[in-house]
Amino acid sequence: MEMDRIPLFDNSCGKIFKDRVVLFSPVRESQVKIDAIERLEFVTKITVKSFIWVLISSSFFFLLYLQRNLNEWLFAGITFTAFLFTLISVALVERNYQIVIHLHDGSTRWIRVTSNNKKEAKKLIEAVKENHKI
């Protein structure tokens, strides 16, 4: 087999060859030449649905601001409920993970990574940086 076809690094998120990087996802495959890569990074993003849940749960604090003449126990109960719902919604925030490749021509390519493959994606990025000094 030719040396160009043998990967330098291989895992479930992609392969690193001598002249290019191939990224995998269940839906698509993306090939990028090593010379075109400016920067590689692993990004975590919060979904809009989760952000809306955090806003809804923190709206209890706005209700407390509007109702200033509440009984002490009622005020304490609503405050506790607001803190509880806000903490739960922040803890259960849904995240998307991506490998983002910034190219020299200013464009970006990204590929989504499942939460199970987070460690594999980080290993792939470190291997690219190590093998090709990016």
Per-residue confidence at 131, pLDDT binned at 50, 70, 90? confident
Residues 74 and 105 in one domain: no
Domain that holds residue 21: 9-46+95-132
- Which pLDDT tens digit goes with each residue over 23-78? 888 888 889 999 999 999 999 999 898 889 888 888 888 888 887 777 888 888 88
Structural domains counted in the chain: 2
This prediction's pTM: 0.73
CATH number at residue 35: 2.30.29.30
Q: Is the pLDDT of residue 133 over 80?
A: no
For residue 2, name the pLDDT band (cuts at 50, 70, 90): low
Torsion of CA 43, 47, 52, 57, to 10 degrees: -70
Are residues 86 and 99 located together in one domain of the fold?
no
Residue 23 and residue 83 share a domain = no
Strands 95-103 and 37-46: antiparallel
Say what the pLDDT of residue 4 is.
63
87 and 99 both lie in a single domain: no
Torsion-angle region of residue 99: left (phi > 0), alpha (psi -120 to 50) or beta? beta
Per residue in 88-129, pLDDT (tens digit) is: 988 989 899 999 999 999 999 999 998 898 999 999 999 988
Residue 117's closest CA among 23, 16, 46, 35? 23
E-state strands within the chain: 9-10, 14-16, 20-24, 29-33, 37-46, 95-103, 108-113
